[in-house]
Amino acid sequence: MRRKHLIVTLCGLAALAVNVARASDHPNIIYILADDLGYGDLGCYGQKEILTPNIDKLCSEGMKFTNHHSGSTVCAPSRAVLLTGKHTGHCTVRGNGNSQNLKEGSEDVTIAKLLQTAGYHTAMIGKAGTGCNVSPGQPNRKGFDYFYGFNGHRAAHHYFPPVVYRNDKEVHFPNNKKHTGDTYVHDEFLKEILGYLDKHGKTKQPFFLHYAALIPHASLVAPEEWVAKYRGKVKEEKQGRFGNYAKCKEPKATFAGMVSRLDWEVGEIMKKLKELGIADKTLVIFTSDNGPHSAGGNKAKWFNSNGDLRGEKRDLFEGGVRVPMIAHWPGKIQAGSTTDHLSAFWDVMPTFCQLTGVEAPSDIDGISFLPTLMGKAKQQKQHQYLYWEFYERGGKRAALTHKWKAVQLNMKKGGGKIMLFDVRADSSEMRDVAKKHPDVVAKFKVIFDAAHTPSPMIRW
């Protein structure tokens, strides 16, 4: 029995060695995901008050996407869509809640699992994207060789957690009490990231590092040095209703400081890549999981966080699902380039598969945007439509083509009338033109039916 186990182990190690050897020419991949960062929260996307010099530099040296969309309008389904390549009409996780987790075993194949087969070492640091309340070690079982962070999204609402996980083991911070303490969790995240890069940055094995940050999700909490940068420079407002989040005397300065803190972390990551001499071997993507929030006493309108887009988090108008995305890869991606290619989170899996020579699953909804990254727009395949469904606030669904956006509310009561917007002429979705284009509305009814499959976990 032991001899058989030894043979299996040696075969597995041999296969891993072959995969690593084959993968040695593949780029490292770092995917940075902000939490509730709006389309208008970055300087390179029009923000005037919050300073984001490092992300702006990433943009000036890389490619700016102006028509990229999140997987959903809240975090759990958005991250599930990202990792599985299936939009919310097909994926397992379609809402927030303790039961909303990716399936164990061979179902719900993730990007990380596929990249492991390509010889990559895989890591996720921050907020688990594999479910709202997963068991210890579940991120590892879903393809991440290393995990550090929150297994539950409820705990991830707070920046001074008493407990996080390293793989399947608890890491305790005894002096932390959710809103206060001596260990600010983003300090630990950055320490873990830089340590991971030091360890894996110069090996022959490429890595996939998914940094799932908390910032700028409520609570409104930031270290004093970051709040101080905006004290007296922004016109303060009274904090709105903050519920179970932290009470904050300077909510606007704090929110701005949180965004600038995340920007600084991006700068530290890029500095480390240059220090290790691997910047030109690393594809870095920065984006956000959904639109901006008005929670924890914050108000998205304070900094025009959704730009000129309608709606915010929990809306299926563009302000809830269109997000900033920047791709950076020196020598491969044209510096200072911009694309309006219609894309979404479910495109990330096939993009990484094409990049690394892995066959993408046949049942996903995504289309690789690698040709766009490589400046080969003529070779880029296009979506017929993007689709979302969301089960809170009466239930709603939406679909987007290159010209039209259709939104339908009150799905739990059978569905209200379908609103239609010409997003090319009306990016703010202020003029419902459904009555003028009944033929287009009819086409979207067909799209809605085709894109949705019933879920045993959640329903209208």
CB atoms within 10 A of CB 210: 25
Domain contains 18: no
Percentage above 90 pLDDT, the chain = 93
Give CA angle at 115 (109, 117), nearest 5°.
85
Q: Are 137 and 215 in a shared domain?
A: yes
Domain contains 22: no
Mean pLDDT of the chain: 95
The per-residue pLDDT for 14 is 47
Q: Are 232 and 252 in a shared domain?
A: yes
Q: Are 295 and 396 in a shared domain?
A: no
Q: Read off the pLDDT band of 17 (50, 70, 90).
A: low
Per-residue model confidence as pLDDT tens digits over 182-209: 999 999 999 999 999 999 999 999 999 9
457/52: higher pLDDT: 52
Distance in angstroms (rounded) separating the CA atoms of residues 36 and 320: 9
The range of the structural domain enclosing residue 440 comes to 389-451
The per-residue pLDDT for 5 is 52
Per-residue model confidence as pLDDT tens digits over 140-180: 999 999 999 999 999 999 999 999 999 999 999 999 999 99
Q: Which of 383, 398, 413 is the last residue of a domain?
A: 383
- Bridge pairing between strands 282-288 and 325-328: antiparallel
Distance in angstroms (rounded) separating the CA atoms of residues 217 and 224: 17
Q: Are 393 and 276 in a shared domain?
A: no
Q: Are 273 and 363 in a shared domain?
A: yes
Domain contains 11: no
Q: Return the H-helix or E-strand segment holding 187.
A: helix 185-200
The per-residue pLDDT for 145 is 98
Q: Which of 383, 399, 431 is the last residue of a domain?
A: 383
Q: Which of 383, 406, 435 is the last residue of a domain?
A: 383
Per-residue model confidence as pLDDT tens digits over 382-394: 999 999 999 999 9
Q: Are 370 and 410 in a shared domain?
A: no
297-306, 357-366, 435-444, 451-460: range with lowest mean pLDDT: 451-460
Q: How many domains does the chain have?
A: 2
CATH of the domain at 308: 3.40.720.10
Q: Are 243 and 317 in a shared domain?
A: yes
Q: Are 349 and 441 in a shared domain?
A: no
The per-residue pLDDT for 24 is 74
